[in-house]
Amino acid sequence: MNKPESLVPRYSHKDYKSAVKPIWCPGCGHFGVESSLFRALAYLELPPERVAVVSGIGCSSRIPAYTQCYGFHGVHGRAPAVATGLKLARPELTVIVTSGDGDAFSIGGNHFIHACRRNVDMTLLVMDNEVYGMTKGQPSPTTPADWDSKIAPGGTGVNPFAPLAVALASGANFIARGFSGDPNGVAHLLVEAIQHPGFSFVQVLSPCITYRPEERFWKKTVHPSSVEPTRDPAVAGHRLLSDDGFTTGIFYLGNRPCYTATVDTSNHDLSAIEEDLAL
């Protein structure tokens, strides 16, 4: 993020913020993520009207309406599919999916892995608080097995899974992890993710201070990666499958070709096609 300070930036992060007031609890980690997103967009000087923020349902998924970009607040778990359709139809837009651990990894798991595999040029930003915030505190796929909750008294007994490893195995082209308590770091990751061609996945650990108050202490748990991002999936796989889940940084930079399409509405001449039906 080194940029000549002398230039007057075209956009400030405020240009990306709408008048709608977040419904989030005071202290929610998602505030930090939101501001990181705005900083990244401002840094990249992306005109707000050229950016589309697509989401599902959840506290995290509320972000689109808080932006001055085009927004799509769809149904629970399906945002990567919406974003795929949008980006294929309008390749000139910058498409960002904002999601939560429940939205992206539980109900949305299939679209998550297939978006990784398909490698359309977009960025998936998952605010992972290891809980369903919006529905008031149920375990998500990243919740520790022994976390006690009303719906799973004594814990689910199910191992949380490693979203970065799943993303890698599924074919994601850029894989990184940040922490909402470090908004600059997250902004940096987002700048890289948005610029990297293909499907970029950024997991941001973002505490739910209401239903997982113990996550306040994540600030002591996270630690930056000590090694450089790799371009070798096997090496990345080895690292991610032995990682503790709290390492921040960029893990993998792929160079698979993007899935693209041209969608052009100008041609209305169907005569050649109709010929196929001639008797």
Ligand X SMILES: Cc1ncc(C[n+]2csc(CCOP(=O)(O)OP(=O)(O)O)c2C)c(N)n1
User: Which residues form the interface with ligand SF4 (CB under 6 A)?
Assistant: 24-25, 28, 30, 59, 129, 133-134, 208-211
Q: CA-to-CA distance for 100 and 213, rounded, in angstroms?
A: 17
| Separation of alpha carbons 145 and 132, rounded Å | 15
Among 6, 226, 242, 255, binds a second copy (CB under 8 A): 242
The reply to whether 160 sits near Mg ion by the rule CB under 5 A is no
From CA 175, how far away is CA 202, in angstroms rounded?
Answer: 6
Least separation in angstroms between residue 205's CB and other proteins is 19
| Identity of residue 273 | I
Q: In angstroms, give the least distance from the CB of 5 to ligand X.
A: 35
Which amino acid does the sequence have at 185? G
Is the separation of the CB atoms in 183 and 32 below 8 Å? Answer: yes
Q: Does 131 bind a second copy (CB under 8 A)?
A: no
**Selection from 248, 24, 19, 259 nearest residue 122 by Cα:** 259
**Ranges assigned E (strand) in 90-179:** 94-100, 122-128, 174-179
Q: Are strands 94-100 and 122-128 parallel, antiparallel or unpaired?
A: parallel
Positions 104 through 163 that interact with other proteins (CB under 8 A) = 106-107, 109-111, 114, 132-136, 138-139, 141, 150-153, 156
| Residues from 115 through 154 that contact ligand X (CB under 6 A) | 127, 129, 131-135, 140
Among candidates 192, 213, 217, 212, which has minimal Cα distance to 202? 192
Q: Closer CB to ligand X, residue 130 or residue 192?
A: 130
* Residue 142: closest CA among 156, 131, 133, 134: 131
Q: Is 171 an interacting residue with respect to other proteins (CB under 8 A)?
A: no
CA 136, 137, 138: angle at the middle one, nearest 5? 120
Site for a second copy in 159-198 (CB under 8 A): 159, 161-162, 165-166, 168-171
Q: Which does 76 bind (CB under 5 to 8 A by kind): ligand X, a second copy, Mg ion, none?
A: ligand X
Site for a second copy contains 83 (CB under 8 A) = no
Q: Mark residues 126-145: x for contact with Mg ion by CB under 5 A, - for none.
A: ---x----------------
Nearer residue to a second copy within complex by CB, 34 or 130 = 130
276: partner contacted, choices other proteins, a second copy, Mg ion, none (Cβ within 5-8 A by kind): other proteins
> Could you say which residues in the range 193-232 bind ligand X, by CB under 6 A?
208
225 binds a second copy (CB under 8 A): no
From candidates 11, 17, 44, 65, binder to other proteins by CB under 8 A: 65
Question: In the complex with ligand SF4, which residue's Cβ is closer, 94 or 180?
Answer: 180
Chain CA centroid to CA 238, Å? 23
**Structural contact between residues 92 and 50, judged by C-beta atoms closer than 8 angstroms:** yes
C-alpha–C-alpha distance, residues 188 and 106, integer Å: 27
Tell how strand 70-73 and strand 51-55 pair up.
parallel
Tokens of 24: 């989030």
Task: Tell me the two tokens of residue 217.
Answer: 């202490």
Interface with Mg ion by CB under 5 A: which residues?
A: 100-101, 129
Interface with a second copy by CB under 8 A: which residues?
A: 106-110, 113-114, 117-119, 141, 157-159, 161-162, 165-166, 168-171, 233-242, 256-257, 259
